[in-house]
Amino acid sequence: MKKKYVRKLFRHKNPYDIKGTNQLFTDALRENAIHHKNHSTEYKEILDNFACDLSQIKTIKDIKDIPFIPMVYFKRHDLNSMPFDKMAIKATSSGTSSGLKSKVGMGYTDLWRGFKMIWRLFRYHKFWSLKRVNYFIFGYEPTKHTDVVIMKSANGFTKVAPAKKRYYAIRWDDEVNKYKVDLDYMKQGLIKASKQRFPIRTLGFPAYTYFLLKEMKEEDIKLTMPKGSLLTIGGGWKQFYAEQVDKQAFYDIVEDVLGIKEDNIVEFFGAVEHPVVFPDCKYHHLHVPIYSRVLIRDPETFEPLKKGEIGLVNLLSPLNQATPLTSVMTDDLGILHEGCECGLEAPWLEIIGRVGITDIKTCAQGAQALMDE
């Protein structure tokens, strides 16, 4: 079956034209759900259990009726529409205390679609550059020892602008046969880079970035990074809430130590179970691109709430054909806002925190445990 609506959606020129794509998005989402229904008996059972008739998904108001699947479900079940060995990438989300990992994958067409999405979004935000840059990746050095999705996206990101050099904070140590955090290596690298003419780009776990900057501040190190330097933090909010780091405090320390202003700090929202990327605007608002819709639901009745009301964050996207990520429920509480001074009409998502308290700690504890070693 040809995926004509999905293809059309990912060809749409303006990545924030939410109003102009509501019908196209609905058609694409239905098409995606039908695809999964036809390729996964487990997904079909879920639809049947909820008596969901996909032919009734006709307008944007109906997308709430596609059963949502809690993210944790993907950690306990093999819910896939493609055999694992046929997938282009098998993403595993960063570990939780329980040691469970999401079994989520992407096919080759999914990746290609994802690439077009990133191309459009990055062009909109003017992230593409032909200038060579020094990358500082506060994450895993890619080796054969890991397939953590963060590492993959980090590696992909370093292709956005050509790399002069890549510094990784978590490197494989052959002697002890495991990953080790080496923030001193990053510190020396930053000092070196501040004396060169190539801009820097950073990416990765904000917890590490924050630990290092705090240490440098205590040592009275004040650098001025070359013009055009950009600090990006991906999937940052999870660690931020865990670490209780106030965002403004983070922006301040970045300017203090690296001389990079707040305008040049870009945050991304995204998850293994929702591979659409939301880059933030200059007001640090995470506007929803056309490849997604976000529903905020009442935590008890699961009924969709109005803009401005706080509830559970439900993420919907037709991007993925390998795994039924059509409608996934996070355990995050959030608010969908309307209107922003940046001029974008697309609503923006504010993450308030998480429902479960145990999971909040795992990411930061994981980071702390690696640092302590």
The minimum distance between CB 266 and Zn ion, in angstroms, equals 12
Which residue, 217 or 282, has its beta carbon nearer to Zn ion? 282
Interface region with Zn ion, contact rule CB under 5 A, candidates 10-18, 230-238, 278-286, 355-363: 278-286
Cβ contacts of 280 within 8 Å, gap of 6 or more: 266, 267, 268, 269, 286, 287
Q: With binding defined as CB under 5 A, does residue 152 bind Zn ion?
A: no
| Comparison of 333 and 340: residue with beta carbon closer to Zn ion | 340
Binding mask of the shown chain, residues 299 to 338, with x at each position contacting Zn ion by CB under 5 A:
----------------------------------------
* Contacts by residues 89-95 (CB-CB < 8 Å, ≥ 24 positions apart): 89/149, 89/152, 90/147, 91/147, 91/149, 91/152, 91/272, 91/275, 92/147, 92/148, 92/149, 92/272, 93/149, 93/271, 93/272, 93/273, 94/148, 94/149, 94/150, 94/363, 94/366, 95/362, 95/366
Query: Least separation, in Å, of the C-beta of 290 and Zn ion?
Result: 15
What's the distance, CA 103 to chain centroid?
16
Residues 209-268 that bind Zn ion (CB under 5 A): none
- Nearer to Zn ion among residue 342 and residue 371 (C-beta): 342
d(CA 303, CA 373): 46
Considering the complex, state which of residue 312 and residue 349 has its C-beta at the smaller distance from Zn ion. 349
Among 54, 60, 340, 370, binds Zn ion (CB under 5 A): 340
Q: Which is nearer to Zn ion, 17 or 256 (CB)?
A: 17
Task: Give the sign of the dihedral formed by CA 51, CA 57, CA 62, CA 63.
Answer: positive
Closest approach of Zn ion to the CB of residue 268, in Å: 14
Nearest-approach distance from CB 348 to Zn ion, in angstroms: 6
Interhelix angle 247-258/206-218, nearest 10 degrees: 50
- Binding residue for Zn ion (CB under 5 A) from 3, 152, 285, 354? 285
Q: Which is nearer to Zn ion, 141 or 267 (CB)?
A: 267
The region of 74-82, 115-123, 341-349, 351-359 touching Zn ion under the rule CB under 5 A is 341-349
Cα–Cα nearest to 106, from 324, 328, 291: 324
Question: Closest separation between CB of residue 119 and Zn ion, Å?
Answer: 21
Choose between 271 and 344: whose C-beta lies nearer to Zn ion. 344
Q: Cα Rg for the chain, rounded, in angstroms?
A: 21
Nearer of residues 253 and 340 to Zn ion, judged by Cβ: 340
Cα pseudo-dihedral 105, 110, 115, 117, rounded to 10: -110
Tell me which residue of 331, 269, 271, 327 sits closest to 299, measured CA to CA: 331
Q: How many residues does the chain have?
A: 373
Number of residues engaging Zn ion in binding (CB under 5 A): 6
Q: Find the binder of Zn ion among 281, 294, 322, 325 (CB under 5 A).
A: 281
Q: Which of 191, 249, 342, 369 lies at the binding interface for Zn ion (CB under 5 A)?
A: 342
CB of 326 to Zn ion, least distance (A): 27
Nearer to Zn ion, 343 or 356 (CB): 343
Q: Compute the least distance from the CB of residue 343 to Zn ion, in Å.
A: 7
**CB of residue 146 to Zn ion, shortest distance in Å:** 35
Question: Residues near 17 by Cβ (< 8 Å), separated by ≥ 6?
Answer: 290, 346
Question: Dihedral sign, CA of 182, 208, 231, 267?
Answer: positive
What is the distance between the alpha carbons of residues 194 and 259, in angstroms, rounded to a whole number?
10
Binding site for Zn ion (CB under 5 A): 281, 283, 285, 340, 342, 344
